[in-house]
Amino acid sequence: MVNLNEYATEKVTEKVLALVGEIPTFPRAVSHLMKQLKDPDTSLEDICATISGDPGLCVLVLRLANSPLYRPGFSNPTTLSIPRAVQMLGRKIIESAVLSYALRGMLRRSSLAEKLLWEHALACAVIASDIVRLIGSKNVETAYVCGLLHDVGKTVMCLRFPETMHAILEDQYNQSQGEDAAICSVAMEKEHLGIDHARVGAVCLNVWQCGEEAAVACAYHHRPKDVQGRSVWPGVIRIADILCHKMEYGPICRPMLNLGPVERALRINGAEMAQCLERWRAKIEETFQAFA
Ligand SMILES: [Fe+2]
Ligand SMILES: [Fe+2]
């Protein structure tokens, strides 16, 4: 039986590094804040001091605390202090927001392909966190992080091999009416670059210490059956990924896709699925606004 987080070993990391060169690092304030958020002994004052020292993080936290996403029923933004905003959002939400901020920082939004990757990441995060709620799990923030980061390998590969990756993403976009375009993307990457985004992403997530769930979800999101019964996250992300294709968020758009298998997996009927799609679209658009 393979080690569930096989991409955490030094040998695999070295192999991936040999192919992609270096792995990008998070900005200092982000890495420091991530460590503080994970440490239960860090005080709220210290967390606020780190956020206050980075203008981008300040804007992010204040904007989220004022967003209808986290303040349902409040239509007018109110000026909040950083400590009040941090208290209101809580550590888990700030952690996933900071990861979104770090991911956005790696993507060049002037590039259409990378803008689509950003939208796909946020949409998959929103859908994955709602799917776990549907199936009665409380791990909403873990689902969000797994969804957000499942294709981070594509982002890293865009940084290292921009021309080849943009050509692959463009091909994917044009051919996405095909049978299983997502599986095909892994094959295309392997053929042209000798490695695929699931492996690159899993190694990066281990290096960045984003948690085993996110690394395993990333490594297996194109082959969830390989870890069936041992981790739910690759399966949840696979479903969220398919729903993103159906809803046309990202480089793969398959609006005609039959959602019957997804409805059966989630144990909902067609009418309930239609409601879910509507709810997800509204939440995804709000999330785009919050991170605009
Ligand atoms: Fe993927
Ligand atoms: Fe994806």
- In this structure, whether the domain defined by 7-25+107-290 belongs to CATH 3.10.580.10 is answered with no
Please give the Cα distance from 32 to 126 (Å, whole number).
26
Ligand minimally distant from the alpha carbon of residue 185: 1
69 membership: H or E segment, kind and range: none
**292, 69 contact by CB (below 8 A):** no
Q: How far is the CA of 38 from the centre of ligand 2 (A)?
A: 26
Ligand minimally distant from the alpha carbon of residue 251: 2
Instruction: Kindly report which listed range (75-84, 98-107, 237-246, 278-287) carries the lowest average pLDDT score.
Output: 75-84
Q: How far is the CA of 39 from the centre of ligand 2 (A)?
A: 30
> Above pLDDT 70, what percent of the chain?
93
According to the model, what pLDDT value does residue 72 have?
64
In sequence order, the 6+-apart residues with CB closer than 8 A to the CB of 246 are: 254, 255, 257, 259, 277
- List, as own/partner pairs, every contact residues 218-224 make where C-beta atoms lie below 8 angstroms and the sequence separation is at least 24, other chains included: 218/146, 218/149, 218/150, 218/151, 218/152, 218/153, 219/5, 219/6, 219/7, 221/150, 222/182, 222/183, 222/186, 222/198
Q: How far is the CA of 52 from the centre of ligand 1 (A)?
A: 35
26 vs 178: which has the higher pLDDT = 26
Q: What is the pLDDT of residues 216-272, one digit of tens each?
A: 999 999 999 999 888 999 999 999 999 999 999 998 888 888 999 999 999 999 999
Could you tell me the pLDDT band of residue 178, with boundaries at 50, 70 and 90? low
Look at the chain and count its residues: 292
On the question of pLDDT at 79 being above 70, the answer is: no
> Above pLDDT 90, what percent of the chain?
60
- The protein residues having their C-beta less than 5 angstroms from ligand 2 (an ion) are 151, 241
Q: How far is residue 93 CA from its own chain's centroid?
A: 14
Q: How far is the CA of 169 from the centre of ligand 1 (A)?
A: 11
Q: How far is the CA of 183 from the centre of ligand 1 (A)?
A: 8
Could you tell me the pLDDT band of residue 67, with boundaries at 50, 70 and 90? confident
Nearest CA among 79, 84, 73, 18 for reference residue 51: 84
Q: What is the pLDDT of residues 250-261, one digit of tens each?
A: 988 888 889 999
8-state DSSP, 23: P
Q: How far is the CA of 35 from the centre of ligand 1 (A)?
A: 27
Please give the Cα distance from 169 to 200 (Å, whole number).
16
According to the model, what pLDDT value does residue 2 have?
55
The residue with tokens 């939004």 is 109
On the question of pLDDT at 76 being above 90, the answer is: no
